[in-house]
Chain A
Amino acid sequence: MGEIKRMDLEYSQLDSDRMRINVGPQHPSTHGVLRLEVEVDGEIVTEVVPHLGYLHRSFEKHCEKLNYQQIIPFIDRMDYISAMNNEWPYVMALEKMLDIKVPEKVEYIRVIVAELNRIANHQIAVATFGMDAGAFTPFLYYFRDREAIISILERLSGARLLYNYFRVGGMAADIYPGFKDDCLNVVKQVRKTNAEIMKLLIHNSIFIKRSANVGILTPEVAINYACSGPVLRGSGVAHDLRRDEPYSVYDRFDFEIPVGKGDVGVVGDCWNRNIVRVHEMEQSCRIIEQALAQMPETGDVKAMIPKRIKLPKGEVYMRTENPKGDLGFYIVSNGTDKPERMKARGTSFVNLSVIPEISKGYMFADLILILGSIDIVLGEVDR
């Protein structure tokens, strides 16, 4: 036999073809019907192009065709995980235009239901993020707890997911007897499960190896891309509209704004974005407890407003802190009972735009985690 020839390979000169593959629109990890066109060099992501429009449900067209009260259910269906929070900025914008003073009790009910829904949203976010990393148990634990929140909101509004509970100048219905006890039980259970999840998922060494130092979003990039919510706070920027521009009665509560501190990994990576959500649940619990203590016992939940709302000519922009970030509604009124034009600033849409920036150079499996840590809802991206 001949002798073995040794080949000297210069590895830097080896060139592999780049491949373009589609992730989605039917893919279990894209959190909906998002399609990502990914260019990979072997296993390393070199380019990501998100393709939208698979759930475009003509939100702005509906706003031009329907009157102001009829629009509220369509706002529910934008970010369908946190419907209560969605309705709030829209209703507040109308109240600002009409110059309505909302009863004190209504403000407290709004704070409580919004914070309950924020907890439910973050539970889904952390649970699905765990599932993206391969942990199935937190999903089961969080959904068990979420049922308690859902049943409170169902008893208030009559629906499990899309509530249509906010009205201009008030709420659709008053709270039921025993509402306070139910809320306090939920708060207790959420704290118990979060303590469990901290051991089970957050500080699990496999989970840390998967999510720490992955998808690093620096504060400068986050601000340049107009990111908000836990995505921005995970990068260490303490920006929260509940504190910075206090609306409703948020200035009466004592709460902190959790930011990513880089206990594990680097500030702005997937792990830090995720831990912000877990800490925010605790802060929501604190707000709920304070609001329940301060809420007036009696009072009307509906302000006196005409059945057919006609806005004066003009325009209004109102934004609030949604679980996913800043959600704003810009309404142009022409003096009739239908808006001339309405624009929603979808949080998920803005946060999604940062994906091509932060997923370059990571492994393909990390791309799924980065997408999960951004926590998008396609109903809000495509609208």
Chain B
Amino acid sequence: MGLLNRLDDPYEGGGIVLGKVEELLNWGRSKSDWYLHFGLACCAIEFMAMNASHFDFMRFGTIPRTSPRQADFIMVTGTVTFKMAERIKILYEQMAEPKYVISVGSCSNSGGPYWEHGYHVLKGVDRIIPVDVYIPGCPPRPEAFEEGMMQLQKKINQQAIFNKRKRIELEDSTKDESNKES
């Protein structure tokens, strides 16, 4: 990524980086995301294959944690039933900020095949917790998991840490102006 490449620049003999603290923090956060190991249904088996030697999920800097308190993001892999929804909400609330959610598979995105007649299936995990990245598929291919992880890293790299409110106001005002012009 950009931060390390800049070390090679011949700036005052090299080894010096000029940049924002925010970039550094985001770089650190996006490159060592620990996730809550949370298998629910079929997608969890595909996620096991993803963790194994053939696809090697850990090259993204992810390590499975069994406790929500040590996790940076939660992967909801599978069908969320009403009985389980309660537990997912509790687990999400136990996680420390900053926290992210990846919803894996049709079931946790929208209810999937159980959308119409599944009287015991929650129609999308985003009804109880905020979701950052959706991975489609029933179950998704391991390549889709990789793409989802890359999208999450992209999202973390772009996030604002300092003066959040000021910036959001600024962005909104510029948006309004551009709207007026057009």
Q: Using a CB–CB distance below 8 Å, which chain A residues touch chain B?
A: 25-28, 32-33, 53-58, 61-62, 65-66, 73-74, 77, 80-81, 124, 139-140, 143-144, 146-147, 150, 160-162, 378-379
Contacts and interface: CB of A to CB of B under 8 A. Distances in A.
B23 interface: no
Nearest to A377: B45
Given A26-B87, A27-B66, 18 more contacts: A25-B87, A53-B83, A54-B83, A54-B87, A55-B40, A55-B84, A56-B81, A62-B114, A77-B113, A124-B48, A143-B52, A143-B53, A144-B53, A150-B49, A161-B139, A162-B139, A378-B41, A379-B41
Given A65-B117, A143-B53, A161-B45, A26 B138 contact: no
A65 B116 CA distance: 10
A62 B117 contact: yes
B54 interface: yes
Which of B39, B41, B49, B141 has the most chain A CB within a 10 Å cutoff? Answer: B41
B49 A146 contact: yes
A84 B128 CA distance: 34
30 contacts: A25-B84, A25-B87, A26-B91, A27-B66, A28-B37, A32-B44, A33-B40, A53-B83, A55-B81, A56-B81, A56-B83, A56-B120, A58-B114, A58-B119, A61-B117, A61-B118, A65-B116, A73-B113, A80-B45, A124-B45, A124-B48, A143-B49, A144-B52, A150-B49, A160-B46, A160-B141, A161-B42, A162-B138, A379-B41, A379-B42
Closest 7 CB pairs of A and B: A143-B52, A80-B42, A140-B53, A147-B54, A65-B117, A58-B118, A54-B84
B81 A54 contact: yes
A80 B53 contact: no
Given A56-B83, A58-B114, A58-B121, A160 B139 contact: yes
B38 A26 contact: yes
B79 interface: yes
Contact of B114 (A57, A124, A143): A57
B113 A74 contact: yes
Interface in B13-52: 37-42, 44-46, 48-49, 52
Contact of B42 (A65, A77, A144): A77
